[in-house]
Amino acid sequence: MSDETYPGDLRYHPEHDWARVDGDVATFGVTWFAQDALGEVVYYDPPAVGDTVTAGSSYGELESVKAVSDIIAPASGEVVEVNDAVSDTPELVNGDPYGGGWLIKVRLSDPAELDGLMDEAAYRAYLAGLNG
């Protein structure tokens, strides 16, 4: 398991998904909080390259020894790459959720959607609110 961290260069969705933006392409994954809540990830069901994802909607599933969880898209667009390494080695999500454990890359259809996501400080405050 990795240590709890929330990189400052990411944008965060309330469903504990993140986006790292590089031009018109964003990399999506799940946060440390999400992988910690799931426990050991044992299976990843990704979308296909060419599929369209919609902000706030499920685009795949992560299955752990405890539960199956939908993965929520933080923004909309076309899937341009899927991290096959996570399909082969799902526990990458637990060990490196912001690095080797990224899930998909999406060509953004509406980059302005990212303005509705939280920065690191807002996400940490959101998590603090969840914990009471």
**For the sheet containing 68-72, what is the strand order?**
41-45, 58-64, 68-72
Predicted local distance difference test score (pLDDT) of residue 1 = 57
Q: What is the pLDDT of residues 1-60, one digit of tens each?
A: 568 999 999 999 999 999 999 999 999 999 999 999 999 999 999 999 999 999 999 999
- All structural domains of the chain with their residue ranges: 11-127
Q: What is the SS3 assignment for 91?
A: coil
Helix extents (H) in the chain: 32-38, 84-88, 92-95, 120-130
CA 36 to the chain's CA centroid? 13
Question: Which candidate, 56, 48, 60, 61, places its Cα nearest to that of 73?
Answer: 56
Q: Which CATH class is domain 11-127?
A: mainly beta
The sign one gets for the Cα dihedral 125, 77, 73, 43 is: negative
User: By C-alpha distance, which of 113, 123, 23 is closest to 74?
Assistant: 113
- In this prediction the pTM is 0.95
